[in-house]
Chain A
């Protein structure tokens, strides 16, 4: 229990650090997104279970799973970055404790307590955020009728489940990183390099496709005539799965390649530093925009699909599809923005000493700001730009139809623009830390 006392004293003396706040914010958004997506999926499935013969709600329910699968990587990435923030940036104080004679066990105990405190704070905030958002989301008309607020609210038991999941992810990561990291008096050297390839993401998409096929099989819904809504949906799902796999696999490579070109052609220090920073960790850049890029394509295709409106029974489903896709893009955008803000802030705090030296040697803080902004613009512009351009290209043959009903496409474009703006805003907010780290005395 010495660990608890030490920790309490430490907390009082250091107060809330910037990294604590970042970790809590990340945990909060990850939790809120997980609850919202979980609530949405549950609501669709409840509707389906209420009337199993209604194939419209059947398909909507399946699509809600797809949306969930699209968002899960973003939620996962965000909570992982929160855990990393909660653990890594305490090197100095942990090392100091070891130096004054705290045992390994006490230091480990403090780390776990610290992580737990941040996770719990984040989760509590996230639950609050979720309850605050539900009324807004329930305004969206699905299945012809807006959800009643209760429909979207997860039963308390499920909320507990999500909370338990987030907490255990945090704790397991904290403990395993403590095992991996040697807590020597000279410092907690945390390596964050060598992230795994996107196998998890690929596996997830394969599983989703499998589940969808299984569900439709068992429900006896295999289409007799391919160009029905069923056929259209199979087409969509296959397309999306393929795009998902493609993006997950080649996304970081594309980001790497683009950054390489920028580094090779850079004529200013800003661009050179931005490109080299991306090259150093292309996966982090990809994580900011990857899920959004996927969502953008899915949303675009969905808005394209809605031009088939007019088919009697399909109307409702296509409308649902469009709204759901827009919602997915919006959530992916918010998660991407939070991730961008959190990861850029962490990087600035991490690189504080190097940035300060650069400033002492005569680099204006403004140069560091614009290099951080460029570091965000390069992957966003290339990946989101490509997704939008690619999707618009797919729409080209249908432009005639679209002219009559361009609203869904315009809404889609509007949401994409808003999401990109949000990511840039979050990045800009993180640059407010720069004058703080470069300050001399």
Chain B
């Protein structure tokens, strides 16, 4: 098996400019500053995956049935990655449907109506098992907290998605360590989540999300449990590492600073997208 191409569905080479050679579309997307690109580019174990686009149309989602049901998404159209890797912040008041949207886009929840096209397939129409495998092979996830198994070491947590994909252990271990190294956790391979600080744990989570070379990374309040400075550096890593690997990022957040660190901000209110704007990516923490 190819060490670097871990995508479940190999795409035609032409559609996949290798990392380090941003497509013209990406260059047009805005002045993306990636000061670390040069050093991470030669990290040997880094998987490279080409940008992929996800396109959702007419999403409707209800929780519950009958009179007591909640209409969480009311006809959402949303696309990400059409023009190369981008980082989209999803903002909006509490209860506006941000997490619901993320879950539907990622194939965690099936919408009551609408389609989610990803690599020529409608995720909304897929069976449970296929969606679960797709989440593992094509997407990465970063949650607020609690996504690491407490009994496993940092490196083992990062190895899990590769072991699930039947990657030989030695290879999985090598890649996990390389990824942790790239995220500044070189000395932390054997530490367990309980022995890590909140920021370190989130960096392990980022390593786990990126190690399989996902086409798209979903993050739900990834810095919600961190203090501001730590949150800023974690976010910096998340956006930079994701974009520089050619993947796009969808991040749900309440924090305007997080949104500024992205290349685009989508606002949700009452299950409807009320605004969608591309903007320059500001270095995290610059506002302070």
Binding site for B on A (CB under 8 A): 266-269, 272-273, 276-277, 279-280, 351, 353-354, 357-364, 367, 440-441
Contact = CB atoms under 8 A, between A and B. Distances in A.
B136 A363 contact: yes
Given A269-B163, A272-B152, A272-B160, 14 more contacts: A266-B163, A273-B151, A273-B152, A273-B160, A354-B149, A354-B150, A357-B143, A360-B141, A361-B209, A362-B164, A363-B136, A363-B160, A440-B103, A440-B109
Contact of A440 (B108, B134, B147, B163): B108
B33 interface: no
B119 interface: no
Contacts of B132: 359, 362-364
Contact of A362 (B109, B135, B156): B135
Contact of A361 (B63, B109, B136, B150): B136
B135 A279 contact: no
Given A362-B132, A362-B135, A276 B152 contact: yes
A277 B151 CA distance: 6
B12 interface: no
Interface in B118-152: 129, 132-137, 139, 141, 143, 146-152
Residue among A269, A351, A358, A441 having the largest count of chain B Cβ atoms under 10 Å:
A269
Given A440-B103, A440-B108, A276 B151 contact: yes
Contacts of A360: 106, 108, 135, 141, 143
7 contacts: A267-B169, A272-B163, A273-B151, A357-B146, A360-B141, A362-B139, A440-B109
B228 to A, nearest CB: 21
A358 B163 CA distance: 13
B161 interface: yes
Nearest to A275: B151
Contact of A363 (B63, B151, B164): B164
A215 to B, nearest CB: 47
A234 to B, nearest CB: 45
A441 B72 CA distance: 12
Given A267-B163, A362-B164, A273 B135 contact: no
B35 interface: no
A311 B165 CA distance: 64
B135 A266 contact: no
B168 interface: yes
Nearest to A363: B164
Nearest to A278: B151
Contacts, number: 76
Nearest to A367: B164
Contact count band on B: 20 to 34
Closest 10 CB pairs of A and B: A362-B136, A362-B135, A357-B147, A276-B151, A269-B163, A280-B151, A361-B141, A269-B164, A353-B146, A277-B151
A277 B133 CA distance: 24
Interface of B: 63, 103, 106, 108-109, 129, 132-137, 139, 141, 143, 146-152, 156, 159-161, 163-164, 168-169, 208-209
Given A273-B152, A360-B108, A441 B146 contact: no
Contacts of B141: 357, 360-361
Contacts of B103: 440-441
Contacts of B160: 269, 272-273, 358, 363
Contacts of A266: 163, 169
Contacts of A353: 146
Contacts of A364: 129, 132-133
Chain A binding surface SS class: helix
Contacts of A362: 132-137, 139, 161, 164
Nearest to B150: A354
A280 B143 CA distance: 24
A67 B150 CA distance: 39
Contacts of B159: 272
B149 A273 contact: yes
A357 B152 CA distance: 15
A441 B61 CA distance: 11
Contacts of B63: 441
B146 A354 contact: yes
A212 to B, nearest CB: 42
B179 to A, nearest CB: 15
A403 to B, nearest CB: 47
A441 B152 CA distance: 27
A346 to B, nearest CB: 15
Contacts of B134: 362
B156 A276 contact: yes
A354 B147 contact: yes
Contacts of B148: 354
Nearest to A362: B136
Given A353-B146, A367-B164, A440-B109, A361 B152 contact: no
Contacts of B139: 362
Contacts of B109: 440-441
A354 B148 CA distance: 7
Contacts of A268: 163
Contacts of A441: 63, 103, 109
Contacts of B164: 269, 362-363, 367
A12 B251 CA distance: 40
A311 B139 CA distance: 74
Residue among A279, A354, A359 having the largest count of chain B Cβ atoms under 10 Å:
A354
A273 B161 CA distance: 12
B286 to A, nearest CB: 31
Contacts of A358: 147, 149, 160
Contacts of A272: 152, 156, 159-160, 163
A358 to B, nearest CB: 7
Residue among A276, A351, A359, A361 having the largest count of chain B Cβ atoms under 10 Å:
A361
Nearest to B134: A362
Residue among A266, A362, A440 having the largest count of chain B Cβ atoms under 10 Å:
A362
A354 to B, nearest CB: 6
B113 to A, nearest CB: 16
A267 B168 contact: yes
